Chains A and B, each alone.
Chain A
Amino acid sequence: MTMPVVLPAERAVPAAPSVLSRVLAHRGLTLGLVMVGGVVLIALLAPLLAPYDPYDQDLTRRLIPPVWHDKGSWLNPLGTDNLGRDYLSRVLYGARISLLIGASVMVISGAIGATLGLVAGYFGGRVDMVASLIITTRLAMPVVLVALAVVATIGGSLTIVILTLGFLKWDRFAVVMRSATQQVRSLDYVTAAEAAGASRLRVLVGEILPNVVPHLIVVATVEAGSAILLEAALSFLGLGVQPPLPSWGLMIAEAKTFMFFSFWLIAIPGAALALLVLGINLVGDGLRDVFAPDGRS
């Protein structure tokens, strides 16, 4: 993972118009934004787009193949699953769950990680020592294993998955924010603010935070993508989101039984998941190029 942890001292945040033009000039970023934007639109408009209720089962119409198959029809463009639920509707609604998880985990872990990183980077000394200890402890724990253990003990549900991942995935935020803050805190404008008698909180929130936000955004996108994948993995193992919620990971898990004979059941949510995570990663990479091109390796 190449993460920009060093903020070049001489570079301030670029002015707004040049950011927009740089975003548009960056093909990967534009493509990523289109992909993520598309999924966001699908999630928002799912009730309008979906031909059926994603939970409605019709046991007399099970395992109908998608429209391009000899036996498919436009009645169910992506076919039906093993309980006769419309697959297109489930995939569309599944976007909501993935995005909800991605966004919520990003916010929770971002809040924890960014606070810890800011405080450690700004105050240094003993505070930094304690914070670094916490970060190292967290880094020593394998996320998937701990998440599995927690979810297996408490039981899986959407809320528990979000909270578990949120409280586990803040490490990268903390590491990046800590080093970025360390760079910024010795800059002249921070010293000036301190000399002018600004409170510590004001310096942290008013002077330092705005200047490290670009890093935060880059980490946040990458973490959102990874949270979505983790949810899919947990659900696949039967420990994440519980049926009948249309989570893509869960759909892949349930389709596993039909892998040999109805491969589309596994391929369709798999492709949706891959597209969304690819889109998010393209956005993350692109934003890094735009905000901190010198940190590129």
Chain B
Amino acid sequence: MKHVAMTLAAAAALAATPALADKKDGTVRFAYDQVLENIDPFFNNVRLGVMMTQHVWDTLIYRDPVTNEYKPYLATAWKWLDDRTLELELRQGIKFHNGEEFDADDVVYTLNYVSDPANKATAQQNISWIEKAEKVEKFKVRIRARRNFPAAIEYLASAIPIHPNEYYAKAGPKGMNEKPVGSGPFKVTEHVVGKIIRLERNADYWKGSPKSVPNVARVEIRMIPDRQTQVAEMLSGGLDLIMNVPVEQAQQLKAAPHLSVTSGGTMRIVFVLFNAGENAPNPALKDVRVRRAIAHAIDKETMAKQLVGEGVRVINSICFPAQFGCTDEGVPRYAYDPAKAKALLAEAGFANGIDLEFFGYRERQQTEAMVNYLRAVGVRANLKFMQYAAMRDQHRGNKVPASHQTWGSFNIMDTSASTSAYFKGIDDDMIKDPEIVALLQKGDTTVDPAVRKDAYKKALTLISERAYAVPLYALTTYYVLNKDLDFKAHADEMPRFWEMKWK
């Protein structure tokens, strides 16, 4: 332990000077391990993108992270005219970072542009429910849904920010990526794709916003895929905040005098996803016994306790338990039972095991633990580890037989944002089981809450029965931060830079 103490002491000595300089100019330096392909919120589906949505842009409605209440935001009031038409009154006097005034045209243009499939937005499940948006008056719009869509408010409050129409018409998603313009509490001053995003406080941010005007003047977000580099930078004072730190490292970093550690549960569910579609890249996975064998092979309780850490929640269906419609009641479970896994494989005709390409993109330690569990029952998993965007494209290209997936649902508290994203026949659904697709469709587009719940429950039961995926747990995330930084972890895995300040 002497070595650790020495390392930490050295690091602390190094840290003293830069930390002081930073407090004066108010920069918070944050690092994230996943690369953001496009900062335009509609053209990525990674967590850093979700963070940027809330910092650089505003949404029509705001959901309070503590009470989960919906509050006025860019829209001051809203009401359903009928099951499919939502009318919203818009706030006046809001300006985008480039000076453009916010009005109905911005809402109409943004929603109509991104919901047009021809424009190929990445996260279709967030916007494909929109049929069209219409201007009623300068500050009044109507949004019409393709079908009944009871979760619309939740989506508008989480994943659908508004772009300035004139700028977006000219720049498009590409220009928006190079020079992002929103109306949120921070302006982007520099974006080098895959490297750095620099934010500056939007001093003109409207005072009554449920997000406050930021205390810190600047935020520097560096994309550092290598965890060890992040840790070294934390120790030497080159960074102020990192997240998703493996539990054992977080505990060790606690010993550094200038750092503190905090953790929080998240909505991010972790699961193994199989490609058992008609043209499955690994035909063995078309056999439900093979998929069930894999489900029996993984000891998720032990993984959760040993690799994820305190506050972890084991899940038994492919959704986050607090989401509307999510349940594991009556959903079949697969207990850890390697002997049964082997027996199932033998029954399926694979007594000598199978070879399987197994993909992963974050929490590599957990992916490797799964690879070892699989190996123990005769599934020779060959690990393919890559960035999320690369894995997603290969998955959508029908090249991924099985993968270690994690999904944060864009913080949307509705099962339509989790289960449906993977099993409703869109985007990431390579199985397209017609029964499940129909049930999820029903759940997503029925107004009656009881009918919705029932449809989701049936879908979740079928997914588990047919073992299309193995639900594992909802992650706990560990944050390591400079102890002079005032930071509060929220349950939605999103650091809010506008709340932070230096002590």
Contacts and interface: CB of A to CB of B under 8 A. Distances in A.
Contacts, number: 62
Contact of A83 (B3, B249, B369, B383): B369
B246 interface: yes
Contacts of B252: 260-261
B241 interface: no
A68 interface: no
A56 B372 CA distance: 7
Given A82-B365, A238-B385, A60 B371 contact: no
Interface in A29-78: 55-57, 59-60, 62-63, 70
A55 B369 CA distance: 10
B248 A60 contact: no
A60 B382 contact: no
Contact of B4 (A62, A155, A243, A260): A260
B232 A242 contact: no
Contacts of A256: 228
Interface stretch (B103-111, B181-189, B299-307, B402-410): B299-307
A164 interface: no
Interface string B2-13: 011001000000
B465 interface: no
Contacts of B384: 155
Contact of B249 (A60, A70, A261): A261
A17 interface: no
A260 B248 contact: no
A56 B371 CA distance: 11
A135 B176 CA distance: 50
Contacts of A258: 249
Nearest to B3: A263
B34 to A, nearest CB: 16
Contacts of A59: 299, 302-303, 305-307, 369
A257 interface: yes
B377 to A, nearest CB: 12
B472 to A, nearest CB: 13
A62 B228 contact: no
Report the interface size class on chain B. 20 to 34
B248 A243 contact: no
Nearest to A264: B3
A157 interface: yes
B145 interface: no
A244 interface: yes
A259 interface: yes
A62 B246 CA distance: 13
- Candidate in A83, A257, A260 with the most chain B CB atoms within 10 angstroms: A260
A57 B297 CA distance: 13
B382 A260 contact: no
Nearest to B227: A257
Nearest to A255: B228
A260 B246 contact: no
A243 B371 contact: yes
Contacts of A63: 248
Given A60-B306, A157-B382, A260 B369 contact: no
A59 B372 CA distance: 11
B462 to A, nearest CB: 31
A62 B303 contact: no
B306 A62 contact: yes
Nearest to A59: B306
Interface in A67-114: 70, 82-85
A252 B355 CA distance: 26
Interface in A218-248: 238, 242-244
Interface in B191-243: 227-228, 231-232, 235
Given A62-B306, A260-B4, A261-B252, A242 B383 contact: yes
Contacts of A238: 385
Given A62-B306, A244-B368, A55 B375 contact: yes
A244 B382 CA distance: 8
B309 to A, nearest CB: 12
B375 A244 contact: yes
Nearest to B302: A59
Contacts of A155: 384
Given A59-B307, A157-B382, A260-B231, A83 B368 contact: yes
A161 to B, nearest CB: 13
B235 A83 contact: no
Contact of B372 (A83, A157, A259, A260): A83
Nearest to B1: A70
A57 B372 contact: yes
A261 B4 contact: yes
A60 B383 contact: no
B397 to A, nearest CB: 15
Nearest to B382: A242
Nearest to A157: B382
Contacts of B228: 256-257, 259-260
A244 B385 CA distance: 13
A244 B384 CA distance: 12
Nearest to B255: A261
Interface in B344-382: 365, 368-369, 371-373, 375-376, 382
Given A244-B375, A257-B228, A57 B369 contact: yes
A56 B369 CA distance: 10
Interface string B157-187: 0000000000000000000000000000000
B222 to A, nearest CB: 18
Interface string A182-193: 000000000000
B372 A244 contact: yes
Contact of A60 (B3, B302, B375, B385): B302
Given A243-B383, A260-B231, A55 B372 contact: yes
B232 A260 contact: yes
A287 to B, nearest CB: 38
A273 B384 CA distance: 25
B354 to A, nearest CB: 16
Interface string A120-153: 0000000000000000000000000000000000
A191 to B, nearest CB: 56
B371 A257 contact: no
B184 to A, nearest CB: 34
A135 B248 CA distance: 51
Contacts of B231: 260
Nearest to B384: A155
Interface of B: 1, 3-4, 7, 227-228, 231-232, 235, 246, 248-249, 252, 299, 302-303, 305-307, 365, 368-369, 371-373, 375-376, 382-385
Given A60-B306, A62-B248, A254-B368, 10 more contacts: A55-B376, A57-B373, A83-B368, A85-B372, A243-B368, A244-B372, A244-B375, A257-B249, A261-B252, A263-B3
CB-based closest 10 A-B pairs: A59-B306, A57-B372, A261-B252, A59-B302, A243-B383, A242-B383, A256-B228, A257-B228, A257-B227, A243-B368
14 contacts: A55-B372, A55-B376, A59-B299, A82-B365, A83-B365, A155-B384, A242-B383, A243-B368, A243-B383, A244-B372, A257-B365, A258-B249, A260-B7, A261-B248
